Structures are given as C-alpha cells and as structure tokens.
Amino acid sequence: MNNISKESSSTSSLSLKSPFHLEDGWTICIENSNKNCTHNEIDILKEKGILNLIDFEIMKLLTRYAYINANNIEYALQHALPSFYRKKSYSRNLKKLVHAGIVIRHQLQFCNPDSNVHGVPAPLRFYKLSAGAYSYLAPVIDVPHNLTYALTDTNIMEQLSVSQFLIHFYVEYGISMQSCKCNLPLHVGSHLFHVDAYIRFRSSKESVDSPVALFILSARGCTEGRSNFITRSLLFFKWLDKHITQGETYMIIIPTESIEHVRSINQTLISHSVPSSLPLYYTIDSDILTFAPFDCIYRCSHDDTSGQDLIERIHLVLFS
C-alpha cells in the first residue's frame, strides 16, 4: 500500500464482548409468526398511512445491508433521517414491520443436542427483509450485496459485523466513497469464494494515491468461523497476487471480536507463511460502536526475537 499515513496510539481496545459472537451449540431462530408479505399488502399499508417514512428507511437499510442488528439500525436512522423524524427508539416501527411480515426478526438460542430443547435466548436481536419485501424494494434501490447463496449461522454473524462496519464507514466517510460492493464473488482457479465487502474511496490527503481500494474480510471466533476465515483469506491472498497492479493503493481490513482474536488470527496467518508486508489491518466490533472506523484500526506484527505478537492501535490519516 502506498503513502498512507498513520499515527500510533497506545490506546487499547474497550475489550467489550462482541455482539456478533456465535458460541458453539447456539443457533439462530426466527421470532416471526408471519414470515412473508406480498407487494399488494405493502401497497395497502402504504395507502392507509400505516407505513411511514421511517418504516421505508428501515426497509431501505435492510435492502442494502441484508442483516442488521437493532443498535445499528438506530445508529443509521439517526444519521439518515431529517431531524424532525428522529426518535429515541424505533422499536415500535420494527415491531410493526415484523408483525406485517415485512421484516424478519432473529434471535440466538442455545440448543441442547441431546434433548433438542432450546434454552433462554440471548439478548441480541437482528433483522432482515422478508422475501416479498426484498423483491418489492430491490428493483428501485441500489443493492450492493449479492446474496444468491444460502448462509450458515456463522455466515450471518459475519454479515452482521460487516454491516456494522459499512454503516459506520458510510456515516463517517460516505462523501468520499465511489463504490461499494458486498459479498463480491472471486475465483482462484476453480475455487469460488466471497470477499465480504469492497469499497473504493478517494482520500483528501495529497500524499495518498487515490482511489483507495478497501477489502473487508470478516473473521469470527467460533469453530466454523475460524475455518471459514483461513480458507477465504488464503484464497484471497492468492487472488491479490494476480490482480493487484504495482503501485495500486489498497488495504485489507478484518473485523474481529477482540484483541485476543486479533492475536489468534495473526498467529494463524504466520503459520501459513502469509507475507507480513501485506497492508493488513484489524478492527474490533465493540470499538466501531464508539470510534470512527479509521480511528480504531489495529496493526499486528510478530517479533521473532522475543516470540511475542505486537499489537498496535493506529489512526490512519486519510482525510484532512
């Protein structure tokens, strides 16, 4: 990566638990009794004034980002809506959309494999559009994602972490974004894999070559998540060797669950001989809730002399 300035900081992560962690043995369940709607039903609710501007803004968000948790829906709305539409809570709007079968609400539950009995659900609630609502909005909305394949529960956790990053990135740097694609399909030989997101944006710093390409590859700490990440990342690094031209400015950002998770990923990449020269950076899910994305970036290196992993929080200086 060329000419991207950075400022080091000793500030550590907030070390809060990631909301997008899937414990082994937990599964995603749908809470809706009504799981779909027709285009005609949406039109009728609109004509009756039951669906308002806030409801449609929620629907647009879910069309663009597929899966979003309640906190990030609220954050996005607070920055997207005109001031006189903003509220302290949008739970009534979400409840209305869930009841109508426009939005699907999900929760996490532990399932005992021996008795098939579900335990008390976790507090995380997240949402996606029903099939009918998506087909209603997709033709008239710029949809960056390409979810044409079935997602596992781990894939959905990956999507939630990426949606959070993209929503906060758009709020902070949207004016500089040129394009954004999600679930970008790539090939290495006969192997198909997906990069979670690809952003092109222009930096306002004269020292930074523009446009900058930003690749996002989410890592999750559960058993399937660890396997998914190493398979996708190794294929992606091979793809980079063939497709990134010399002098092109690019970055790789890996949303993770914690500092410990960053250290674990770094050790795994070292064991697979991934070059340390790659412009590889990490974010932590809980940090994104408090700081602008480029204000809470981590760089990890390995000290061969001491055998220790060195994790440094940096501030990427990309905008004046």
pLDDT band at residue 317 using 50, 70 and 90 as cut-offs = confident
- Nearest residue to 61 (alpha-carbon basis) of 126, 114, 5: 126
pLDDT above 80: residue 211: yes
- Nearest residue to 54 (alpha-carbon basis) of 19, 102, 20: 102
- pLDDT tens digit sequence for 30-82: 999 999 999 999 999 999 999 999 999 999 999 999 999 999 999 999 999 99
Q: Which residue has the tokens 């408090």?
A: 290
The two domains 5-17+148-317 and 26-140 share their CATH topology (first three levels equal): no
- pLDDT tens digit sequence for 131-142: 999 999 989 888
Q: Which residue has the tokens 């970055």?
A: 251
Predicted pLDDT at 42: 98
CB 76 within 8 A of CB 61: yes
The dihedral sign for the CA sequence 223, 224, 229, 232: positive
User: What residues does each domain of the chain span?
Assistant: 5-17+148-317, 26-140
**What's the CATH fold of domain 26-140?**
Arc Repressor Mutant, subunit A (1.10.10)
pLDDT above 50: residue 113: yes
The Cα–Cα gap between 159 and 319 comes to: 27
Predicted pLDDT at 28: 94
> What are the structure tokens assigned to 262, written together?
């960053």
- Please tell me the pTM assigned to this model: 0.90
Residue 81 per-residue DSSP state = S
Predicted pLDDT at 116: 56
pLDDT band at residue 11 using 50, 70 and 90 as cut-offs = very low
- The CATH code for residues 5-17+148-317 is 3.40.91
